[in-house]
Structure 1
Amino acid sequence: MYAFLVAVHVVFVVLWVGGMIFAWSFQRPAAATELEGPQRLRLWVATFRGFFPWVWASVILLLVTGYGVIFGYMGGMGAAPLYVHLMNGLGLLMIALYLHVFFAPYRKLRRAVEAEEWQEGGRQLGRIRRMVGANFSIGIVVIVIAVAGARGLPILQ
């Protein structure tokens, strides 16, 4: 069961962080150079509509599998090494950023696109872009901490 929990955890980390990297590093620049404002904003709403259910699944499964490993195999938070505490704290920060994106600028972006208020839509997309950039950067740090900690880097034990 331990290997299953870790495997599911890793798959959903890759899905969430990889999806953010793809959107921020590849789709965003391509959309900015190839599409006019209204088409670009519509593309982003459609992209988020498809991606965000996977992020919700990631949030739920990362919490379930992460705490499943901590409490089922590590003896709880008190016995968990430093790298697990760092991953937990940064993961909770990532979830908080996502919740903010989903419930604030994404909803405003959707409403602006539906109302064809392109300037407001662009403003909300810019807010999302900055938060996604921060979130995928934190995600990369978490991945580095996870690998280094699991490989026994003394400072993270």
Structure 2
Amino acid sequence: MPHSPLWSLVLALHIISIALWIGGIFYAVAILRPSLGLLDATQRNSIMLQTLARFFKGLTHAIPTALVSGWLLILHEGGFANVPWTVNAMQGFGILMALLFVRLYFGPYQKVRRSIRPQASAFDSIRMQMLAIMALGFLAILSACLGHPFM
């Protein structure tokens, strides 16, 4: 296919949305949460809830952007049957990540958000599910790298 600035923009949107998604999860799990250990439980829970609310609001835009832009790029390359297995693996990881996010958002996150005094175990459940999403994101990135021909 001929090079077009439009497809470069679609690819840029795809990469930016993935970077926000996986990078945001990495920040929340590996940097923010351990740093909050110095605070008392009430302050820690409040900051985590406020952070998750803002982050999840952003993900409601980043996730659909990642999925739709990825599908557009696949269609641009000739459709699902014409892309390498690594692209299909990447798509599978992305769909699984999105489904896990929906499960996280409507499950443990809503429970914690509605709780008067959320327990640490509820935040641990959120953390574990975010770690699973992050691991799948790393696998999706690995798939993208495996499928990229180096010149």
- TM-score by shorter chain over 0.5: yes
| Aligned-residue RMSD, C-alpha | 1.1
Q: Is the 8 A contact 2:104 2:129 kept in 1?
A: yes
Deviation, structure 1 residue 102: 0.4
Q: Is the 8 A contact 2:112 2:118 kept in 1?
A: no
Matching residue of 1:132 = 130
| Identical pairs, percent | 30
Within 2, Cα distance between the matches of 1:127 and 1:51? Answer: 17
3-state SS of 1:150 partner? coil
Match for residue 107 of structure 2 among 104, 108, 121? 104
Match for residue 80 of structure 2 among 77, 84, 96? 77
Within 1, Cα distance between the matches of 2:131 and 2:103? Answer: 14
Q: Is the 8 A contact 1:37 1:118 kept in 2?
A: no
Letter in 1 for 2:30: S
Matching residue of 2:10 = 5
TM-score when scaled to structure 2?
0.91
Matching residue of 2:95 = 92
Could you list the runs of 4 or more consecutive aligned residues of structure 1 that deviate by over 4 angstroms after TM superposition?
Answer: none
Match for residue 63 of structure 2 among 59, 64, 71? 59
TM-score when scaled to structure 1?
0.88
Within 1, Cα distance between the matches of 2:93 and 2:64? Answer: 15
Q: Any gaps of 5 or more consecutive residues in structure 2?
A: 1-5
Q: Any gaps of 5 or more consecutive residues in structure 1?
A: 153-157
Deviation, structure 1 residue 80: 1.3
